[in-house]
Structure 1
Amino acid sequence: MQPSSASNLSTPVLEHSVPPSRPSASDGEARVLAVVDGPGAADYTDTADYVAHTATLRGIVRQRLVTRALVEHLPPAPARLLDIGGGNGVQALEFARRGYHVTVCEPDPHMLAAARRGLANAPESVRRRVELVEGDGRDAVHLVGTGWDATFCHGVIMFVPEPAPLLNVLVELTRPGGIVSVVGKNGPALALRAGLQGRWQDTTALLGDPWPAVTARAATGAGAAGAAGPDRQPAMRVPPGDDPANVAGILTAAGTRSLAWYGIRTFTDHLGDVPPGPDVDAVVDAEWVAGAQDPYRGIARLVHHIHRRIG
């Protein structure tokens, strides 16, 4: 990455670059930024799509709910925050405005370029509180050091084959008593979006189809009783990074305790790229109340884990 954009700012954004430890879009290999839950169901597939997504109602709901939850648990500004996989810097910019010092560690140079463009329009006092680092979050201990007051990892764990190494690094990066914030997909509830969008084949695949079990039991003379119970096998296994219980368990085993967890996008996830309307504040308020209580948070699209490092 060429840090040439600093010359476009009256106050440069602190920035440095290291060779990424995994391929990025600049290596000539397509980088998929979203897991598809059925044909055509990806939220975004490249940097431009992701930036556009952040301006939709769904994107705004996500970012504002994450911020709203964090302000209840973060130490006061000017604490030092580290955003692993911070993308185009939307969350970093929000907390820099609130007086925090934020470092974004992001492997994709295109995302960092988008972050620089966003920072270019920010006041000088905000730009001075943001640092951009190019690199893989799993290497962050060597890139940015440890002892952070809070470490964020939002919308990243669903894109790694096994979340434990990254989650363990998050805890290592955070000082004892500091906050670890992780947002991931709610795997057990992924069928909800497909159903509300009328994608019935995808819905059945995500839920798991009980009919093969019925057929097998009938063929053996066992009957259909209980076919949707223990014998039912889901057609799609929830990846480890999409299993909220697994994510919470890994964080706890690494030396944290859970402070709270929230659901994100219970009512709005199926709305596609609908832009925000004049009622966006009311939408966010409704989503906030739902995401903080059962049963609504349990069927939300995303789960926000907030833990404290205890050792």
Structure 2
Amino acid sequence: MTAPGARPNDNSWVRGAVDRALAPGYQAHTATLRGAVRQRLVTRALLTHLPTPPGRILDVGGGEGTQARALARLGYEVTICDPDPEMLRQADERLSGADAAVRDRITLVHGDGHDAASLVGGGWDGVLCHGVLMYLTDPAALLHVLADVTGAGGVISVVGKNATALALRAGLQGRWRDTLSLLDEEPRAAAGTVTEIGNLGVPSRGDDPHQIRDLLSAAGTEPLAWYGIRVLTDHLGDTPPGPDLDTVVEAEWRAGERDPYRQVARLYHLIHRRRP
């Protein structure tokens, strides 16, 4: 359902061409092996650290609601705050086919995550921000908002692109000129100043997960865990999931929870707790 008084926001982090391209690209991506692995790994990590349901979860940039529906089926009350009307339309469309109990547990709010405090208030048991920081020039302000709207002891979950291993995908795919270029730019990439066209077909940038950890800690949180996402499957392009998906996910989970593997994952997943 859509929250009363929800409003659009002119300060959206995804503008212009990104707005127009992201929704269809993301929908196609979720049907691939890479997309399925990402969602399954994120859900598994969340259930390891979130309080047991029922609980109030805010999904900043939650898009068409794949993660929100998974959590709502488990009994969480989930609010998606997203600046893209097309993403929210897709979320609403997919909710129309869900069980009534799941529909009633999900609220859709149109707006910029930077305005979350005024749009949806604070005191959340869990705040998610997945695949958003890569479209921001500077993530620090949004990370502070995430911490501010999380209740004391609540969990913050951030997924972003790992800038310290951007060359790995290109190398495993045999794109050697791209590999050399990314290796040459590695120091700038780790500082978040290099953009590339990712699998969704729009420009995005990465961050050093250790820097994001430090920014979250400075905002009043403490780290609980961090995971790598797509250590072993990121180079497989649009390969669809196969009958061995459960085995693939288990292999990715075990690799992504330990060094040195998580260091070279395409995505990082940080879990923090809001300090009292």
Q: Is this a same-fold pair by TM over 0.5?
A: yes
Tell me what 2:217 maps to: 252
Is 1:239 matched with 2:192?
yes
Q: Which runs of 5+ in 2 are unaligned?
A: 194-205
Query: Conserved in 2, the CA contact under 8 Å of 1:207 and 1:235?
Result: no
1:76-225 map, 5 Å: 76-208=52-184
Find the aligned partners of 2:174 and 2:187 in 1 and give their Cα distance. 20
Answer yes or no: is the 8 Å Cα contact 2:55–2:76 preserved in 1. yes
Q: After the TM superposition, list the runs of 4 or more consecutive aligned residues in structure 1 that deviate by more than 3 angstroms.
A: 233-238
Q: What is the alpha-carbon distance in structure 2 between the residues aligned to residue 237 and residue 257 of structure 1?
A: 22
Amino acid at match of 2:71: F
Match of 2:32 in 1: 56
Q: Does structure 1 retain, via aligned residues, the 8 Å contact 2:190–2:207?
A: no
Give the secondary-structure state (helix, strand or coil) at the position aligned to 2:68.
Answer: helix
Asked if the contact 2:127–2:150 (Cα under 8 Å) also holds between the matched residues in 1, the reply is: yes
CA distance in 2, matches of 1:67, 1:250: 24
Q: CA deviation at 1:235?
A: 6.8
What's 1:30 paired with? 17
| 1:70 counterpart = 2:46 | yes
**Cα deviations across residues 63-114 of structure 1 (Å, max 9, x unaligned)?**
1100001101110101000000001100000000000000000000000011
Identical positions, percent: 57
- The answer as to 2:244 corresponding to 1:268 is no
1:251 Cα offset (Å): 0.4
- Secondary structure of the structure 2 residue equivalent to 1:276: coil
Unaligned runs of 5+ in 1: 1-12, 34-44, 210-232
Q: Distance in 1 between matches of 2:219 and 2:189?
A: 28
Give the distance between the partners of 2:243 and 2:191, measured in 1 at CA: 37
Partner SS state of residue 49, structure 2: coil
Q: 1:32 to 1:177 in 2, by over 3 A?
A: same
Q: Which has the larger radius of gyration?
A: 1
CA RMSD of aligned residues (A): 1.8
Q: Secondary structure at the match of 1:133?
A: strand
**How far apart are residue 202 of structure 1 and its match?**
1.1
* Displacement of 1:246: 1.0
2:251: which partner in 1? 286
1:179 is displaced (CA, Å) by 0.2
Distance across 2 between alignment mates of 1:23 and 1:178: 25
Normalising by structure 1, we get a TM-score of 0.81
Between 233-242 and 187-196, report the one with greater CA deviation.
233-242
Superposed CA deviations along residues 206-250 of structure 1, whole A, max 9, x for unmatched, are 1118xxxxxxxxxxxxxxxxxxxxxxx857564175111110000
Q: Specify the alignment match of 1:39 in structure 2.
A: none
- Residues 13, 112 of structure 2: 8 Å contact kept: no
Q: CA contact under 8 A between 2:232 and 2:252: conserved in structure 1?
A: yes
CA distance in 2, matches of 1:102, 1:237: 33
In structure 2, C-alpha distance between the alignment counterparts of 1:310 and 1:237, rounded to whole Å: 27
d(CA) in 2 for partners of 1:123, 1:23: 31
TM-score (norm 2): 0.91
Once the 2 structures are TM-superposed, how far is the Cα of residue 205 of structure 1 from its aligned partner? 1.1
